[in-house]
């Protein structure tokens, strides 16, 4: 491309958005050509070096006209004047662009934050169907978690509610912590609350995963939320047995009795619900036996790991009994 005035080759300056050099450092031509003005709209100016000597000094030609989008600027023949006027306008346009960019950034950041909050509130509303229950319904489900079903011919209805399971897990955390304190459990590299939280919520997640895995292997008709709900309600037996074991903690016998009856009933409930939604006898047996085994073993683990019998109390009671016998 050649300028109309001189016929000399024009200076074409191309800068990408990633260039970080200041336009002023590169000279006014660069600043002028890239100062937020579309390059296509800029009439290029011949470089001073490229203009023949005679032409520059004794120029009788019309000065080149520069069009800057809305503003029109007439560049005089003297190069010094061109440089100064371009500098001023270039700074002004740079400031305008910077201000616009800043406003845009502030607005976009605000929008993003608002969107995040709206999204969080919307997510809470998405959870509402799983938590919005009546107190009576929760109590009924808690009681039913100990009652095995007898009719396996039709699939048992499984709720997709999560309030009960969540609160059950939180209760188990509190009871387990109480057990740990009663038995003077000391952990070297963890706190009691940390261990209780990890154990209870970890087991809930693990049992849910097992049920989902079994449903995949045994073709059980159950979704993830239902699996989560079954596992959570199953933990009610652990809460009850752990609490009762706390009250009768001087002997193992009451614990085993509670374990066999209460935890057994709860495991049977879970197993029968899963079995009722599974097609095929061998698949039913496999799924049920695995769930019963895991569920009952975990209560044994909880008891023997975190609920030690107070040997001192036992010894004191034995001494008292011996003393009474002697007398």
Partner 1 sequence: MLAIETYSEIYTGDRKNADTPQWLEKLKLDWLLETDNEHEKFDNRPLLEELDIDPSEIWYKIRCILLPVFISKWGYQKHVLRDNPDFWGPLMSVTIFSAISVWGQSHVVGWIYTFWFSGSALIFGLGRVLGGDITYSQSLSIIGYSLLPLSTVCLTMMITGSCSGGFNFLGYVLWIFGIVWSSYSAASLLVADEFLDKKPLITYPIILLYIYFMHFFTGV
Site residues (vs partner 1, CB under 8 A)? 88-89, 91-92, 94-96, 99, 121, 124-125, 127-128, 130-135, 138, 163, 167, 170-171, 173-174, 177-178, 181, 184, 191-193
Would you state the structure tokens that stand for residue 179, as one six-digit string? 């057990």
For the CB of residue 91, give the shortest distance to partner 1 in the complex, in Å.
6
Judge contact between 226 and 159, C-beta under 8 A. Answer: yes
To which residue do tokens 């899963």 refer? 274
**Nearest-approach distance from CB 129 to partner 1, in angstroms:** 9
End-to-end Cα separation, the chain, in angstroms: 123
- Closer to partner 1 at the Cβ: 18 or 186? 186
Q: Count of alpha carbons within 13 Å of 203, Cβ hemisphere only?
A: 29
For residue 5, the minimal CB distance to partner 1 (Å) is 28
Q: How far is the CB of 95 from partner 1 (least distance, A)?
A: 3
Q: Which residues of 60-87 are buried (b: 16+ CB within 10 A; e: fewer)?
A: eeeebebebeeeeeebeeeeeebbebbb
Instruction: Give whichever of 96 and 261 is closer to partner 1, judged by the CB atom.
Output: 96
Please tell me the distance from the alpha carbon of residue 147 to that of residue 317, in angstroms, as a whole number: 38
Give the residue with the Cβ less far from partner 1, 28 or 46: 28
CB of 229 or CB of 276, closer to partner 1: 229
Give the residue from 35, 40, 44, 38 showing the smallest Cα distance to 8.
44
- Minimum separation from the CB atom of position 143 to partner 1 (A): 15
| 196 versus 290: smaller Cβ distance to partner 1 | 196
Cβ contact 152:272 at 8 Å: yes
CB 196 within 8 A of CB 180: yes
Residue nearer to partner 1 on the CB measure, 138 or 152? 138
The CA-based angle 213-214-219, given to 5 degrees, is 110
Closest approach, Cβ 84 to partner 1, in A, equals: 14
Residue 163 CB, nearest approach to partner 1 (Å): 7
Judged by CB, which is closer to partner 1: 14, or 125?
125
The secondary structure of 276-296 as a DSSP string is: HTB-SHHHHHHHHHHHHHHHH
């Amino acid at each position: 491309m050649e300028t109309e005035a001189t016929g000399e080759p024009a200076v074409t300056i191309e800068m990408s958005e990633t260039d970080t050099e200041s336009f002023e450092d590169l000279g006014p031509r660069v600043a002028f050509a890239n100062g937020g003005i579309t390059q296509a709209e800029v009439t290029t100016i011949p470089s001073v070096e490229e203009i023949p000597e005679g032409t520059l000094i004794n120029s009788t030609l019309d000065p080149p006209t520069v069009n800057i989008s809305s503003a029109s600027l007439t560049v005089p023949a003297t190069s010094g004047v061109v440089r100064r006027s371009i500098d001023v306008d270039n700074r002004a346009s740079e400031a305008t662009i910077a201000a616009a960019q800043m406003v845009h950034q502030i607005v976009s950041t605000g929008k993003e934050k608002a969107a995040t909050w709206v999204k969080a509130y919307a997510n809470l509303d998405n959870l509402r169907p799983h938590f919005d229950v009546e107190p009576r319904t929760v109590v009924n489900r808690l009681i039913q978690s100990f009652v095995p079903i007898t009719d396996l011919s039709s699939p048992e209805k499984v709720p997709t509610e999560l309030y009960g399971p969540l609160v059950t897990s939180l209760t188990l955390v509190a009871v387990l912590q109480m057990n740990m304190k009663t038995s003077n459990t000391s952990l070297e590299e963890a706190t009691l609350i940390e261990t209780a939280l990890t154990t209870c919520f970890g087991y809930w997640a693990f049992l849910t995963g097992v049920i989902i895995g079994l449903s995949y292997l045994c073709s059980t008709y159950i979704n993830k939320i239902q699996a989560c709900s079954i596992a959570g309600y199953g933990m009610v037996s652990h809460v009850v047995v752990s609490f009762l074991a706390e009250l009768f903690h001087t002997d193992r016998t009451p614990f085993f009795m509670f374990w066999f009856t209460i935890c057994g009933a709860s495991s049977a409930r879970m197993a029968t619900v899963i079995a009722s939604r599974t097609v095929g006898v061998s698949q039913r047996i496999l799924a049920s036996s695995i769930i019963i085994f895991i569920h009952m073993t975990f209560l044994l683990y909880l008891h023997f790991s975190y609920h030690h019998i107070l040997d001192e109390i036992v010894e004191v009671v034995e001494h008292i009994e011996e003393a009474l016998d002697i007398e």
